[in-house]
Amino acid sequence: MTESNNRLAIIAVHGTLDLAYPPLILATAALALDMEAAIFFTFYGLEIIKKGNADKLLVAPIANPAMPMPVPNIIGMLPGMTAMATGMMNNWMKKANVAKLSELLDMALEGGVRMIACQMSMDVMGIKKEDLMDGLEVGGAATFLNYASQNAIALSF
């Protein structure tokens, strides 16, 4: 076996349902592969780790031509379309038996994924540590880079 990296460093920038999944799926999968992982939640990514918020994230139908039922932007702007797109996606996920985001978050924390909330983003967006889930760290770019610089695979979503 060739020598391989055993550390995964992920940046989660977005707070939409679809973009919250990849960081959490990869980080929990890393645990299963005997790798260690960290996720740095910054800007809207903080929405994923707000207490009780993960399962309330939405999908944007606007500027999302890849949706299986593409919605013209002008229709996507109408009231209720975001809720409708979100309902559809949640329904597809459920049918495919995909774990809920809250379940993936719990598994990540339980398995020892380092979950780092970006201090600067918290300040910008007026988010306090107590607004976030328990068991998280708060840190800055240096925290992430120090972790990532130690031979990590680094990804951003």
Partner 1 sequence: MSVKADLTLDCSGMACPMPILKTKKAVESLQLGQVLEMIATDPGSTSDIDAWTQKTGHELVDSRQEGNKYIFYIKKTK
| 17-32 vs 81-95: helix crossing angle, rounded to 10 | 30
C-alpha span between 61 and 48 (Å, rounded): 19
Where residue 22 falls (left for φ over 0; alpha for ψ -120 to 50; beta otherwise) is: alpha
By beta-carbon proximity to partner 1, the closer residue of 103 and 131 is: 103
Candidate residues 98, 109, 153, 155; the one interacting with partner 1 per rule CB under 8 A: 98
- Using rule CB under 8 A, residue 78 touches partner 1: no
Tell me if residue 128 falls in helix, strand or coil.
coil
- Using rule CB under 8 A, residue 4 touches partner 1: yes
Per-residue contact string for residues 36-75; x = within reach of partner 1 by CB under 8 A: ----------------------------------------
Candidate residues 1, 66, 69, 142; the one interacting with partner 1 per rule CB under 8 A: 1
- Residue 90 neighbours by CB distance under 10 Å: 17
Angstrom CA distances, 35 to 1, 72, 115, stand at 16, 42, 15
Candidate residues 12, 50, 79, 99; the one interacting with partner 1 per rule CB under 8 A: 99
- Using rule CB under 8 A, residue 3 touches partner 1: no
By beta-carbon proximity to partner 1, the closer residue of 74 and 96 is: 96
The CB-of-31 to partner 1 minimum distance in angstroms stands at 7
Candidate residues 63, 66, 69, 96; the one interacting with partner 1 per rule CB under 8 A: 96
Whether residue 25 contacts residue 56, with contact meaning beta carbons closer than 8 Å, is answered with no
Whether residue 57 contacts residue 48, with contact meaning beta carbons closer than 8 Å, is answered with yes
Residues that bind partner 1 (CB under 8 A): 1, 4, 25, 28-29, 31-35, 96-99, 107
